Structure 1
Amino acid sequence: MSRPFASVRARATLGATTVVALALVAAGITVVGVLRGDLTDRASLRSEVRARTVAASQTALNGRFTDTALPDDDDHLVQIVDGAGRVLAASEPLRGRGPLTTYDPAPTATPKPPERDEDGEEGDDDHDGAPRRGQVSTGTGHKTLAVTVDDEKQEYRFASVHATTYDGRTYTVYAATPLDDEEETVTSVTRAMLIGLPLLLLVIAAVTWLVTRRALRPVEAIRARMAEITSSQDLGRRVPEPASRDEVARLAATTNETLAALESSVERQRRFVADASHELRNPIASLRAQLEVAHAHPELLETDGLLEEVIRLQTLAADLLLLARLDAGDGADAGTVDLARLVRAELVRRAATDRITPGVRITGEGHVVSGSASRLTRVLGNLLDNAQRHAASRVSVTLGGQGDHVVLAVGDDGGGVPAAERERVFERFVRLDDARSRDEGGAGLGLAIARDVVRRHGGRISVRRAPEGGALFEVELPRLRTPGQQPRTAASGQDR
């Protein structure tokens, strides 16, 4: 049973909807907060204007508070309270009631008469905060309070303003504006957001689902084609590449490149198996024929021929095994190899069997590389075998340095390798001379093994025309540096 959010489309839809929901909730909270603050500020301003209007009226400054015009509706509550907390005047809904609030009481100190400053202007407040006689304080106190009016309790935004009559009595004017309209506005906005948010999230989820479905359609096409290729085992087919230049198009292109490489690898493996079977068939058939003859006519048994076929079969099997290990990435244990010593030892070992004695030239010093001595010996032996088969009368081996590389070259004076065949000559089971027999020409694996071994050692092998007129195979390997050793340049040295 599949999980509900196992698909990329479902996870993308869920993720996008969640992010948008969180963003909308945060934005909604911010909007409601800003709106509430703005409405409260407007109510504070209305209360302050009303309080200052009453406090600055001439009847109030003259101390005739009962004659002061005050609003008489529930939406405009005003009280005038002295410093002792006694109500001096109140709007109609508040008559006969005590003070609505006692915050910010009027100063009780006796104010001083107005004084003029250096510019001739009267000051506002004296040192104890009380307005001077006949003046209104510049400061305003704001507070939100719950008040019960006509048996109904609701919140009001209060503004308090201090003033002093001409005869020196201080008083506070409290003006209040109800916040029910503001609360209703905030509630309406909040309700609209709560209703609209799910609908908006539903639309976003649907759009994300459809857009993701369309975006992933090429991926589904790639998956379906890969499933067909897997079931049919036809590596010649390719996945469709969308016309867009996005990540999906690059994925399709990379998939096709992988399929092409896999097809090439499988084809090469098939050719390898076919060629190996063909190469193994000849020595096995020869061995069988000779054994059948020996069984029927013991006196005709030729052990030399049998031994030669067994050696050939053993060599071919060893070559095939080495190639299989190289293809599998099997690397021999790396060590320090002195190529100069390796060349001398290999030439001494082959001296009794080589048709032509090679000329050797070793220049410079420090021909030390990192790698497997046995496999590098195999490379030199394969190159010498190739040169011995094709040389007319001369084979040369040179070893020198070129910068940070050691260069080993094997040349001959044979027919050489045509320029068009200098890459194909390193392929497996390739013989450029179709006229020569397999017994003389080998199985066509020597140069292929040499190339793979050299690549495993971080080097490269190439072929060009030799000064003698034949083929010159050059192997470049990274020189092994000792700590503190400086890069080398090609140096001349003593011929050996």
Structure 2
Amino acid sequence: MAAVRKGSVRARAALGATLVVALALVAAGFFVVSTLRAGLADTAKLNAENAARATAAQVGDVPDREVRDVDGLGGDDPSQVVDADGKVLGASDPLEGRPPMAGFARPDKPGSPARDDTGGGGDKRGGHAGSDDADADSDSDDDSDDAADADAGRQDIDTDEKSEVVTLPVDDDGEVTYDKDDTVGTQEFRVAGVQSRTRDGTPVTVYSGASLDAQQEAVSSVTRSMLFGLPVLLVVVAGVTWLVTRRALRPVEGIRQEMGAITASTDLSRRVPEPDSRDEVARLARTTNETLAALESSVERQRRFIADASHELRSPVASLRTQLEVAAAHPELLDLEGAVEDTIRLQALATDLLLLARLDAGERPAQARLSPAALLREEMAQRVGDPHPVRIEGVPAQGEVRGSEGQLARVLGNLLDNAQRHAATEVRVSLTEEDGALVLAVADDGEGVPEAERERIFERFVRLDGARSRDEGGAGLGLAIARDVAVRHGGSLTEEGVPGAGARFVLRLPLAAEG
């Protein structure tokens, strides 16, 4: 299917979300199962310990020969009472006739208090350790039973129980069995051991078990539920992520289709649809439209530039061709001076066009340190035959800037040419420092520039004096070149004159850093 092909954002988003959710659910599942298993195991252990304690308390009320008759050994859960020699004094029905339960410690020697492997101490319940003689007397003399009864509250019960999991065989009904022929499986029990004494002072260990069947069943049920629910949940997550991503990316697909149509038709006036939302897609659409608008403006500007350049080149070329054709037919009629002027004009125009092309291509200017004051002196020394005098106001600042000497000299020459062309009596030049920048101002006393035209005059091939002949007014590229060069040098060029009082062009260039 094309929608899930390699590189599809929707497919990657759905797959990524599914994997993240799967990992999170698996981790959560392990945590839940382990917590449930531990909790149920602790409950089984507590039940086993409580049962062992209860049976131990009952064992302490009877002599060792009556241990098998205590109520604590009458249940279905496994229970045993074992003396210090490992002899089973009593057991519940499931363990009747079974040897002592393995895995638990037995007392070290007869007549000593019972002890388990963990080395647990004893919690004495009102007892007297020196009651062994009285207990022994109770075995030989039935008349001393009352005295032994009085000692029933003095048996030792070790509260530091030991517990472990024991696996026992079970029959068809799930009951614990010792007959291997009836065994159909095994069942785990949590068995706890409690040390005590019978009424006649015999040290014993009471073992009681609690089944772990409920724990295992609960864990199995939870595990099965998770294994069944996990794939279903992952399918839901993948589907929802796919649908949400598809809806979110639908405007992007619209933008892509419109851009493809614009590329195919080369109609830059078209725009991509902008969603009503204020999200990243809407901002992408607006930025795309702004880019298209800038591209359309650039292409239109380039078209006008080519058309104007062709028009400007046509005049001197046509004039030069006419003069050469006349000279070929009538050498005596050759206007050599006019041919030279047309050639110079054609050369200047070609130079301007070449410089503009280099600026448009993003050519970075040189970074040499140079003095605008020195450039101004050199330019003034080279200018001869200007129709109006040039007056330098004040002492030129001696700061330095970084850039191309040839391009900055071209800017200064273009500004002076423009001022000479429009001045009535004189041209004024000043060079000062302001706020970390060198400020070159070139002013004339002509008619000035209307406020509405102050930006338009910096466009290429724009001349406000339409009635003026091209030979007198130039091609309209001088100010455009001057501003482009200023911008490339990190500066600016603006017109700040007052209409009717002359034009004043201000060039600002950042001062070069010291060192």
Distance 2:84 2:102 in 1: 13
* Deviation for aligned residue 1:200: 1.2
Q: What residue in structure 2 maps to residue 247 of structure 1?
A: 280
Q: Trace 1:261-340 onto structure 2 (pairs within 5 A).
A: 261-340=294-373
Q: What residue in structure 2 maps to residue 77 of structure 1?
A: 78
Say if 2:442 is the partner of 1:440. no
Distance 1:379 1:189 in 2: 84
Give the letter for the 2:402 counterpart: S
Distance 2:128 2:379 in 1: 114
Please provide the CA RMSD for this pair: 2.3
Give the letter for the 1:69 counterpart: D
Which of 413, 416, 420 aligns to 2:448? It is 416
* Deviation for aligned residue 1:466: 6.3
* Deviation for aligned residue 1:203: 1.3
Q: What residue in structure 1 maps to residue 253 of structure 2?
A: 220
Distance 2:334 2:103 in 1: 133
Q: What residue in structure 1 maps to residue 433 of structure 2?
A: 401
* Deviation for aligned residue 1:10: 0.3
Q: What residue in structure 1 maps to residue 162 of structure 2?
A: 141
1:41-90 Cα offsets, whole Å, 9 max, x none, are 221122112111110015655433122224455x4100011222221111
1:317-345 Cα offsets, whole Å, 9 max, x none, are 11011011101111232201111111000
Q: TM-score, normalised by structure 2?
A: 0.86
How many equivalent residue pairs?
A: 469
Distance 1:299 1:425 in 2: 43
Gaps of 5+ in 2: 115-123, 130-151, 170-175, 178-182
* Deviation for aligned residue 1:106: 4.3
Higher helix share: 2
* Deviation for aligned residue 1:142: 1.7
Q: What residue in structure 2 maps to residue 238 of structure 1?
A: 271
Give the letter for the 1:11 counterpart: R
Q: What residue in structure 2 maps to residue 25 of structure 1?
A: 26
Whether the 8 Å contact between 1:51 and 1:173 is mirrored in structure 2 is yes
Give the letter for the 1:27 counterpart: A
Whether the 8 Å contact between 2:82 and 2:204 is mirrored in structure 1 is yes
Whether the 8 Å contact between 1:133 and 1:167 is mirrored in structure 2 is no
Say if 2:109 is the partner of 1:88. no
SS of 2:6's equivalent in the other structure is coil
Give the letter for the 1:184 counterpart: E
Tell which deviates more after alignment, 99-108 or 18-27.
99-108
Whether the 8 Å contact between 1:337 and 1:371 is mirrored in structure 2 is yes
Whether the 8 Å contact between 1:59 and 1:67 is mirrored in structure 2 is no
Q: What residue in structure 2 maps to residue 165 of structure 1?
A: 198
Say if 2:342 is the partner of 1:342. no
Distance 2:389 2:412 in 1: 15
1:327-366 Cα offsets, whole Å, 9 max, x none, are 111123220111111100010011x232222111353643
Whether the 8 Å contact between 2:125 and 2:157 is mirrored in structure 1 is no
Whether the 8 Å contact between 2:323 and 2:334 is mirrored in structure 1 is yes
Q: What residue in structure 1 maps to residue 408 of structure 2?
A: 376
- C-alpha change, 1:168 and 1:210, in structure 2 (3 Å) is same
Q: Trace 1:99-114 onto structure 2 (pairs within 5 A).
A: 99-106=100-107, 108=109, 110=112
Give the letter for the 2:97 counterpart: G
Tell which deviates more after alignment, 250-259 or 62-71.
62-71
1:277-302 Cα offsets, whole Å, 9 max, x none, are 11111111111111111112111011
Gaps of 5+ in 1: 113-120, 484-496
- C-alpha change, 1:343 and 1:427, in structure 2 (3 Å) is same
- C-alpha change, 1:466 and 1:4, in structure 2 (3 Å) is closer
- C-alpha change, 1:412 and 1:125, in structure 2 (3 Å) is farther
Distance 2:105 2:5 in 1: 62
- C-alpha change, 1:344 and 1:61, in structure 2 (3 Å) is farther
Give the letter for the 1:298 counterpart: P
- C-alpha change, 1:212 and 1:125, in structure 2 (3 Å) is farther
Distance 1:160 1:354 in 2: 121
- C-alpha change, 1:447 and 1:102, in structure 2 (3 Å) is closer
Distance 1:410 1:423 in 2: 17
* Deviation for aligned residue 1:481: 2.8
- Of all paired residues, the percent bearing the same amino acid is 56
SS of 1:56's equivalent in the other structure is helix
Distance 2:186 2:113 in 1: 37
Distance 2:395 2:95 in 1: 118
* Deviation for aligned residue 1:100: 1.5
Give the letter for the 1:339 counterpart: P
Give the letter for the 2:406 counterpart: S
Q: Trace 1:36-47 onto structure 2 (pairs within 5 A).
A: 36-47=37-48
* Deviation for aligned residue 1:133: 4.0
